[in-house]
Structure 1
Amino acid sequence: MASSSANLWVLLGLGLAGILLMTRKLKKVVKEDFGAFIERFELLPPPQPAPPKAPHPLTGLSFAVSDVFDIDGFVTGFGNPDWAKTHESASRTSAVVSALIEGGATCIGKTVVDEMAYSISGENKHYDTPTNPAAPARVPGGSSSGAAVAVAANLVDFSLGIDTVGGVRVPAGYCGIIGFRPSYGAVSHMGIVPVSTSLDTVGWFAKDPNILRRVGHVLLQVPFAVQRNPRNIIIADDCFQLLKIPVDRVAQVVIKSTEKQFGRQVLKHENLGAYLDSKVPSLKTFHSKKSNGEVKSSSLRLLANVMQLMKRHEFKHNHEEWINSVKPTLDPVISAQIRETLEIVDAEIENFHAIRNEMRSALNSLLKDDGILAIPTIADPPPKLGGKEISSEDYLIRASSLLSLASISGCCQVTVPLGSHDRCPVSLSLIARHGGDRFLLDTLQTMYANLQEQADIAAKSKLSSKSFSQETSAETAKEKGNQAYKDKQWQKAISFYTEAIKLRGNNATYYSNRAAAYLELGSFHQAEADCTKAIDLDKKNVKAYLRRGTAREMLGYYREAIEDFRYALVLEPTNKRASLSADRLRKLFQ
């Protein structure tokens, strides 16, 4: 009995020792490369030119490339071992990789991608999932997961990825680094395995906005231009409502940063879905064909569906023959989606192209040459490794609703890290018109330090997230009320202003605005009461005096009305409305 007990303790001891050794080994592997690389090699730049010629623009920088870029003498694996086994080594290096090497940078290897660069999770069962340095228990995001991890872990100065439906933007957001998706067609696709030809773009990651910009100047080959500040920074309020973290943690950062950097007059708010409703009529055609009696979907949700259908259709067109002939071991999600992708008729393809063209025109019209659209990069924090949420339809629709804006329009977009919330990275995205790549890179360079400062302030603020959220939600409700008022939907405006008052009842503007809507409906007692409340909160609210004067005049309280108009004149001596109203009433009733 004693002998058996001793043997048991020996076995337990050996088991614990083995676990400790494996843990140490795992930590060593993670510490070294975080599982980011598939292959290591070194491609050196040409010698530096002799003075007085300027050195190469990327001298001293190292980079890695996702395993979708051809490198002469290496097999492009496309995230799948069967693909690697059935394809020859590349006979030439991708044009963008060559340009970066010629620019003075050193390429040190290939990094993991999602299987066939298809997903946005970053998980790959064949090569293991790279470890997210910013949140090790969470997915790194994909498809260019390894490239993002290599930058986040400081293994390289920058890296290349492919962004079809978020392949650069999502991992940048999830790993807490900067990711740039250029305008569609702005960077050569030669020597890259395609996913969806009409959506694919070559993107890049960095931690330093200056490095991101230097890489952009090499790849975009744009002519020199004087740097310009944005004249409009548009906050897409409805997009921020999709966030699963406190809205203010992102929206307030960009608002406060913009106010400090450029002034409040630069800021604008937009309901992007409503704007697209009027500017992208082909979406209605798409909905009428697909709805089958369903409740009308929002423009953002429809765009998400269009993007996913385009990707699946073009992916199947590009790779179905190889899949059918090789019958590779594929992720079940990819297999199911390829099988379920119905043949799309020519008329639907034409409709997709019309949607794309109208989207580009709509965003170009909204942003012009000097506008920036601010949206969340992705609605959800990075899901846990192996979690089911990333394969849910709700997650995919929320993510695609935001990612589809740049993917379908072809506009350029940059993902900007904004610290963390609940130990998960938080990010913001800035979008510029198609072709506005240099302007967007310059704007990021200008705003980056300020954005980081405001993100740090927000993270350390003693104000509760609930208080922050209520303030922003109240402002959003007020803006919706203003829009309804402009559209002469008085009752709807009153509902929105009432919502704002419930959230933040100490704001005089909300009461004064609701009074204006009550006046339009002839509800003079309610208008008078709201104006009185507004004046109690803000003794210098001229509009409240004018509106209360109007309400009192309509109720027959002429003496009190005259006093209101006179007081408005004390605050604003040149106010014509107050002067005319006071004179008219004085002549009639005094």
Structure 2
Amino acid sequence: MASHAANLWVLLGLGLAGILLVTKKFKKNVKEDFGAFIEKLQLLPPPQPAPPKAPHPLTSLTFAVSDVFDIEGYVTGFGHPEWASSSSAASRTATAISTLVEGGATCVGKTVVDELAYSINGVNKHYGTPTNPAANSRVPGGSCSGAAVAVAANLVDFSLGIDTVGGVRIPASFCGIIGFRSSHGAVSLMGTLPISTSLDTIGWFARDPNVLRRVGHVLLQLPFGIQRNPQQIIIADDCFELPKFPVDRIVQVVIKSTEKLYGRQLLKHENLGHYFSSRIPSLKLFHKTNGEVKTSSIRVLANIMRFIQRYEFKYNHEEWINSVKPTLDPGISAQIYENLETSDTDIENCKSVRNEMRLAINSLLKDDGVLVIPTTAYPPPKLGGKELLSEDYQNSAFSLLSIASISGCCQVTVPLGYHENCPISVSFVAKHGGDRFLLDTLQNMYKSLQEQVDVIATSKSSSNAVSKEESAETAKEMGNQAYKEKQWQKAIGFYTEAIKLSGNNATYYSNRAAAYLELGSFLQAEADCTKAINLDKKNVKAYLRRGTAREMLGYYKEAIEDFQYALVLEPTNKRASISADRLRKVFM
């Protein structure tokens, strides 16, 4: 008899183990469905040095790279199958990748880029558009869309990309993660496909500012140095007039965080368009009188940046793109062959603007200043949305992106929560060569910035005067993001705030129950699911979660009833079917 009981428990254990393995496999497939990767591979770091030497600085971290970086033995695809089919496997690995692997990180694959890495949208008709984990119905942003999605979906710890005219900054903003564009020339581009040589620079994505900084120290090969606090935080007022969504909250987050950490005396305001007009004489060579100077100077810079990108891209690849022009995405083809009003002499004038602009920003920021601007002018557009083809969408985006691209300065994109279920962000810019200072500043400010986001997002007297329902949805979305990042207690806090604002929403209780389950708080999970079911009798997830909680509490009969009722509502639900059958066989 005892032997029979022991065998029963062994079988039960094996059955539960099998279910766990199936669940893990299912979760893995869901992650892969984000469509971030072109190719999976593995580049392993060298063995750890023997004590007392310190371990590699990036030990245990995984990363992915955009498909513009060479990896020995693999073809670099450039986001276009014709390029891949006409290219040979790389004979050596890009310097940036080798540096990271030698630093202890493991490279796990190549990720999708926009066609020829030339767009800011994140759409690729050949390989598919990666799914934006932060807003599934929205574009992920480009050109390094897959690299951003891989980080946002928690598939890797960080990823590597190229930022020419926003290739890292835009997808970081649209996917709600951190994106760093290094100073032009600060990190070796050896082994990368050139897009626009005078604008290209290495960038990287991460969810954690500490990881971003560790990667930066390895790539930039920075020696030990004392951290410096900023001595001025300059808000570009005219740039904050460009976005098509409310920016008061963004500005208030930066102001409140700065006051808390450094004092209000550090805050300054600047009209960047006026400043550039007075400090960049060569702009007059391109300037057209079209109303207000404050916006026109930045718009002119956007046109200059686009001209440089187009000119240098065609210089590098014109013969090839002419041969495949019919296969190019119409939107990208239009940009490459756009008839901007320029001449050969404009090339030298562009160089003058670039040099003068770098001097102007260095003069404004000096060694210890940070410029604050919006990352984007629009929230991430809907997939197939009209904004993607809008001239204003392009012009507004390039106006903001041109500041760092033309000057060669470093810039970091910082997520600041959500607006109407879409990620929003702010960007900090430091002078050319100020990469360490900017990484340190972000690390010092990040926690405070997120705290201010939480305060403002849940405040009833928000400057945007949003309704309780909108505030509740914002809190729920922040809870969802915390849940994705496995910050269960933080997720519970956000869901609780959503319930306080709108206590008759079954989803809020059900979501909080999911977080309680992760923490092993089964009584709380059961109570929340019961409340959700009372509010919505057809909430399948609530029945499944309550069934799980009751099973763990030993209420097997009630758990079976929950799983059976979930099956009545959703007859094809495999989880409910497997769970009900398993419990019936063992406990009935």
TM-score by length of 2: 0.73
Q: SS at the partner of 2:362?
A: helix
Matched residue, 1:329: 327
Identity of aligned residues (%): 73
Alpha-carbon shift at residue 333 of structure 1 (Å): 1.8
Match of 1:358 in 2: 356
Give 1:295 deviation, angstroms. Answer: 8.2
Deviations along 1:507-553, one digit per CA (max 9) or x if unpaired, are xxxxxxxxxxxxxxxxxxxxxxxxxxxxxxxxxxxxxxxxxxxxxxx
- What is the deviation of 1:29? 5.0
Residue of structure 2 aligned with 1:418, choices 396, 412, 416: 416
SS at match of 2:337: helix
The answer as to whether partners of 1:82 and 1:328 remain within 8 angstroms in 2 is no
Report the residue type matching 1:225 in the other structure: G
Q: Note the 1:473-552 alignment, pairs <5 A.
A: none
Q: Distance in 1 between matches of 2:77 and 2:91?
A: 14
Structure 2 runs not aligned, ≥5 long = 1-24, 467-588
Gaps of 5+ in 1: 1-24, 469-590
The match for 1:434 is: 432
Match for residue 198 of structure 1? 198
Partner of 1:168: 168
Residues 340, 236 of structure 1: CA spacing in aligned structure 2 closer, same or farther, 3 A cutoff? closer
8 Å CA contact 1:33, 1:155 repeated in 2: no
Report the Cα distance in structure 2 between the residues aligned to 1:245 and 1:336, rounded to whole angstroms: 28
| SS of corresponding position for 1:42 | strand
Residue 446 of structure 1, aligned match among 434, 444, 447: 444
Structural mapping, 1:257-268, within 5 Å: 257-268=257-268
Find the aligned partners of 1:307 and 1:30 in 2 and give their Cα distance.
39
Q: Secondary structure at the match of 1:427?
A: strand
Higher Rg? 1
Pairing 1:26-425 to 2, within 5 Å after superposition: 30-287=30-287, 298-327=296-325, 329-341=327-339, 345-425=343-423
Paired AA for residue 75 in structure 1: V
> Is the Cα contact below 8 Å between 1:367 and 1:373 reproduced in 2?
yes
Deviation of 1:240 after TM superposition, in Å, equals: 1.0
Counterpart-to-counterpart distance in 2, 1:203 and 1:405: 16
d(CA) in 2 for partners of 1:456, 1:294: 39
Change (3 A) 1:56 1:216: same
> What is the aligned-residue RMSD (CA, Å)?
1.9
Shift of 1:33: 4.4
Shift of 1:347: 1.9
User: Cα gap change, 1:214/1:302 in structure 2, threshold over 3 Å: closer, same or farther?
Assistant: same
Deviations 1:249-283 (A, max 9, x none): 21100000000010001111111111111011111
CA spacing shift, 1:118–1:30, aligned 2, 3 Å = farther
Cα distance in structure 2, aligned partners of 1:337 and 1:450: 40
Give the drift of 1:246: 1.4
- For 2:191, the aligned partner's letter is G
Query: 2:376 & 2:291 partners in 1: Cα distance?
Result: 26
**Equivalence for 1:492:** none
Question: Are the aligned partners of 1:419 and 1:427 in contact in 2 as well (CA < 8 Å)?
Answer: yes
Q: Alignment partner of 2:273: what SS?
A: helix
CA contact (8 A) 1:142 1:166 kept: yes
Q: Separation in 1 of the partners of 2:128 and 2:27?
A: 15
The amino acid across from 1:164 in the alignment is T
Shift of 1:465: 3.9
Q: 2:222 & 2:103 partners in 1: Cα distance?
A: 15
Task: Note if contact 2:287-2:297 (Cα within 8 Å) is conserved in structure 1.
Answer: no
Show CA shifts across 1:304-334 (max 9, x none): 1111111111111111111234556111122
Aligned residue pairs, count? 441
* Local SS of the residue matching 1:243: coil
What SS does the corresponding residue of 2:184 show, helix, strand or coil? coil
Provide the C-alpha distance between the structure 1 equivalents of 2:196 and 2:262, rounded to a whole number of angstroms. 38
Q: 1:445 to 1:342 in 2, by over 3 A?
A: closer
8 Å Cα contact 1:130/1:149 also seen in 2: yes
SS of equivalent to 1:340: coil
Q: So what's the TM-score if we normalise by structure 1?
A: 0.72
Where 1:373 maps in the other structure, the secondary structure is: strand
Q: Distance in 2 between matches of 1:282 and 1:331?
A: 34
The aligned amino acid for 1:209 is P
Structure 2 distance, partners of 1:172, 1:338, is: 24
Q: Cα distance, 1:336 vs. partner? A: 2.4
CA-to-partner distance for each residue in 1:386-430, whole Å, 9 max, x for gaps? 112122110011111111000000000000011111100010100
Distance 1:73 1:457 in 2: 50
Cα distance change of structure 1 residues 158 and 33 upon mapping to structure 2, 3 Å threshold: farther
For residue 69 of structure 1, report the CA deviation from its aligned partner. 0.2
Q: Give the letter for the 2:375 counterpart.
A: T
| Offset at residue 235 of structure 1 (A) | 0.7
Change (3 A) 1:325 1:26: farther
Once residues 414 and 327 of structure 1 are traced to their aligned partners in structure 2, the CA distance between those partners, rounded to angstroms, is 34
